[in-house]
Structure 1
Amino acid sequence: MESRPDILCIGSVLWDVIGRTPRSMAVGHDVPGRITRVPGGVAMNIAMALCREGMRPSLLTVLGRDAPGQELASAAKALGMDTAHVTWSEDLPTDQYMAIEAENGLIAAVADAHSLERAGDAILAPLIDGRLGSAERPHSGIVAVDGNLTEDLLSRIADSPLFAQADLRIAPASPGKAGRLLPLLRHPAGTLYVNRIEAGLICDDRFPSARHAAEALVARGARRALVTDGAAPMAEASAAGVLTAVPPQVVVTRVTGAGDTFMAAHIAAEARGLTGIFALERALGVTAAYISETE
């Protein structure tokens, strides 16, 4: 019998098709570069980063019974993930994501996560039927949730007894979906991981720094909020106060998955017993290595 997973990753698991160029781009530009197809999606990115940190995540998501879905499941198993609780669909295709990255950052992206949205709460069945928990004995471990879930489902997760004892770690799917996370601010054991722009969208405000953004999220009800701001100082806020940390300065070669990598590295650091600034600095170091790595 396989061991119990260290963490549940609930959300999008899909194929990332990424075009990258070392040149600066604007709308309409046609430049040489490289195109890759790799496993992605917020839940998958977090799970992959957790595997690199020596943890064993379990995926709660939906995959189509198509060739891309079978290939994704095989890739996840090869990386060390538990896929026993994946929901398989006969009629929904496996989701995908397409992005263009250039020297001047992310130019454009399209996320096709319609299958995950249509699957709804079916992906939570293992938390109900006793495999990972039940209403009588709710799961009490770490649970990472991503904003690709529908706003209705995220709201139900915030109030559901199935998650009442969970250490909930929350990530947006993109700035455009950051507002979906608002209901999760009321979870009594939630930790929110966002960037400064996403924090502004959640709070319907603009913040001059990560510190201001983190403080505002806590004021809105978040138990704990971690806010990154690119190369500028990041902040962690809670009722205990505010911590700030400066990311290492590196040459950025990729940005897709950076926030997910930071979240996973921070979770892993705390799982190892690191706290406060030590956990933040560990996570920032791991993220710096990721975004400066040549693929």
Structure 2
Amino acid sequence: MEETPDILCIGSVLWDVIGRSASHMRQGSDVPGHITRLPGGVALNIAMTFARFGLRPGLLSAVGRDREGNELTEACAQLGCETGYLYRSDDLPTDRYMAVEGANGLIAAIADAHTLERAGARILQPLLDGTLGSVEAPYNGPMALDGNLTETLLDEIARDPAFAAADLRIAPASPGKAERLMPFLRARRGVLYVNLEEAGLLCRTSFDSAPQAAARLVERGAARAVVTNGGDAACDATPEGIVAECPPEVLVTRVTGAGDTFMAAHIVAELGGAGRAEALDRALAAAATYVSGDIPS
């Protein structure tokens, strides 16, 4: 930890257990396929994409001191992520995520992020004790957050002076956790990265397109909203205007982690000086490459 990371990734760092089949599936399906265990979690997926683009991401999360936690921490370091800021729990197990994917997309998933939730504000200690920042000298770099943090903790981050100088980028982690991002609407802070369903949950309605959803999020208080809609146009909205771009057409071979790849690629593009339209286009291209299976998990 001799150098400050290029970006901080705060949220879930866990093992992804993914079952994939080439068959179409429905409830009760029992089909052949492959089961893999890979380092994952929204914060880590984002961090791994940063590392692939040559950045040095720092992880702030909770990982157990069990065997799975030791293996995960070692894997994160090998992937180019700074693990020295992780909160290592002696009495909580390492979190896990389990998903089943078929030829027709994600069938079901369960995220067990209870250790992260129970660790709470302890994962933020490096941003408060002077290691990375403090109330007197706030961290002023980019910071990616995910909705696996509790709404209480996200609310604290939205209002805490220790985070006032940070470039906050926030993703909900899943539709079931979308409403945890409400504190950032109330505080009018950060960039929200959501899909069409998540935007609808935050606005308590449904939308037909990403531009419609992004504009409504801004009306409800978002400082900036980036909304994706699968193979249809994505949108970046601010009070000053809207930019929309269509993703490339590709054969989809996987979906878990696609949104995280999109978000990271978008941030990398902007850190490199890209304008809003170019950043959106590059993020969509990176996500399309990921879901097509052309880059490794």
CA distance in 1 between partners of 2:185 and 2:78 (Å):
35
CA distance in 1 between partners of 2:11 and 2:25 (Å):
31
What does residue 182 of structure 2 align with?
Answer: 182
User: Conserved in 2, the CA contact under 8 Å of 1:166 and 1:189?
Assistant: no
RMSD: 1.0
Count of equivalent residues: 295
Residue 36 to residue 100, structure 1, CA distance change in 2 (3 Å): same
CA distance in 2 between partners of 1:83 and 1:76 (Å):
7
CA distance in 2 between partners of 1:154 and 1:68 (Å):
27
What does residue 6 of structure 2 align with?
Answer: 6
3-state DSSP class of the match of 1:222? coil
- How big is the shift at 1:3? 2.0
CA distance in 1 between partners of 2:105 and 2:116 (Å):
27
In the alignment, structure 1 residue 87 sits paired with structure 2 residue 91: no
What TM-score comes out, normalization by structure 2 length?
0.98
User: Conserved in 1, the CA contact under 8 Å of 2:65 and 2:88?
Assistant: yes
What does residue 165 of structure 1 align with?
Answer: 165
CA distance in 2 between partners of 1:250 and 1:160 (Å):
42
What does residue 255 of structure 1 align with?
Answer: 255
- How big is the shift at 1:54? 1.0
What does residue 283 of structure 2 align with?
Answer: 283
What does residue 66 of structure 1 align with?
Answer: 66
User: Conserved in 1, the CA contact under 8 Å of 2:96 and 2:111?
Assistant: yes
What does residue 99 of structure 1 align with?
Answer: 99
Q: C-alpha offsets along residues 4-48 of structure 1, whole Å, 9 cap, x if unaligned?
A: 101110000000000001110000010011110000101011001
1:134-213 alignment runs, 5 A limit = 134-213=134-213
CA distance in 1 between partners of 2:48 and 2:145 (Å):
15
User: Conserved in 2, the CA contact under 8 Å of 1:138 and 1:163?
Assistant: yes
What TM-score comes out, normalization by structure 1 length?
0.98
CA distance in 2 between partners of 1:114 and 1:101 (Å):
23
CA distance in 2 between partners of 1:126 and 1:282 (Å):
32
**Letter matched to residue 171 of structure 1:** A
User: Conserved in 2, the CA contact under 8 Å of 1:23 and 1:31?
Assistant: yes
CA distance in 2 between partners of 1:220 and 1:279 (Å):
24
- How big is the shift at 1:185? 2.0
User: Conserved in 2, the CA contact under 8 Å of 1:251 and 1:292?
Assistant: yes
Runs of 4+ in 1 over 4 A off after TM superposition: none
CA distance in 2 between partners of 1:110 and 1:189 (Å):
29
What does residue 229 of structure 1 align with?
Answer: 229
User: Conserved in 2, the CA contact under 8 Å of 1:14 and 1:94?
Assistant: yes
**Letter matched to residue 134 of structure 2:** S
Structure 2 stretches of 5 or more lacking a match? none
User: Conserved in 1, the CA contact under 8 Å of 2:188 and 2:221?
Assistant: no
User: Conserved in 2, the CA contact under 8 Å of 1:21 and 1:32?
Assistant: yes
Percent identical pairs in the alignment equals 60
Structure 1 stretches of 5 or more lacking a match? none
